[in-house]
């Protein structure tokens, strides 16, 4: 069955452990029910999230994420159909941004806007394969 895979980036607004725990708690509960899986990379200056699941479930979830005031500048970076999940079995994996990700300075300088879809996918591929 074809699935939607969507990646977006955003700027955390009021990032701390409590906010992150709350987001992940909600995500894991809702996503399990909606057959959505994915991965949320979290850093003080950046959220990068991959969502995958049935078209309608991902569309509905992305709509509510767009409205969420715990982050700003929500920008879609990839939107495609796929046959296979990258994070099968993960209601929402979380990952602290690692050194191979764009640095804060690079993000501030607009690196995300110059990256293509493959670059965003590569970030999540590495996590899914536990490389890096
Ligand atoms: C960075 C970020 C990632 C989020 N990821 C998810 C998610 O994967 N699944 C989800 O249900 N809600 C996620 N949310 C929360 C949604 O925006 C929204 O608050 C939630 O879906 C509402 O669910 P509720 O009606 O059960 O409280 C995320 C929010 C933020 C700020």
- Ligand 1 atom nearest to 10, measured from its CA: 1
Domain residue spans in the chain?
3-128
| Mutational pocket test of ligand 1: of 8, 16, 18, 27, the residue with most ligand atoms within 8 Å of the beta carbon | 27
**Ligand 1 neighbourhood includes 33 CB (under 6 angstroms):** no
Give the global pTM: 0.96
| Mutational pocket test of ligand 1: of 8, 68, 124, the residue with most ligand atoms within 8 Å of the beta carbon | 68
Q: pLDDT class for 131, splitting at 50, 70, 90?
A: low
What is the per-residue pLDDT across 17-52, written as a single tens digit (0 to 9) for each?
A: 999 999 999 999 999 999 999 999 999 999 999 999
Residue from 35, 43, 14, 58 nearest 106 by CA: 43
Q: What is the 3-state secondary structure (H, E, C) of 28-43?
A: HHHHHHHCCEEEEEEE
CATH class of 3-128: alpha beta
Residue from 24, 35, 43 nearest 98 by CA: 43
What is the per-residue pLDDT across 60-86, written as a single tens digit (0 to 9) for each?
A: 999 999 999 999 999 999 999 999 999
């Amino acid at each position: 069955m074809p699935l939607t895979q969507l990646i977006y980036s955003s700027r955390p607004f009021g990032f701390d452990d409590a906010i992150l725990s709350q987001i992940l708690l909600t995500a894991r509960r809702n996503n399990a029910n909606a057959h959505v899986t994915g991965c949320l990379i979290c850093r003080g200056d950046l959220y990068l999230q991959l969502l995958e699941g049935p078209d309608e479930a991902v569309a509905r979830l992305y709509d509510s994420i767009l409205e969420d005031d715990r982050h700003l500048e929500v920008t879609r970076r990839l939107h495609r159909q796929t046959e296979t999940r990258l994070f099968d079995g993960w209601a929402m994996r979380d990952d602290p941004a690692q050194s191979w990700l764009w640095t804060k300075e690079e993000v501030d300088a607009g690196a995300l806007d110059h990256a293509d879809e493959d670059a965003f996918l590569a970030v999540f591929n590495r996590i899914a394969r536990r490389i890096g």
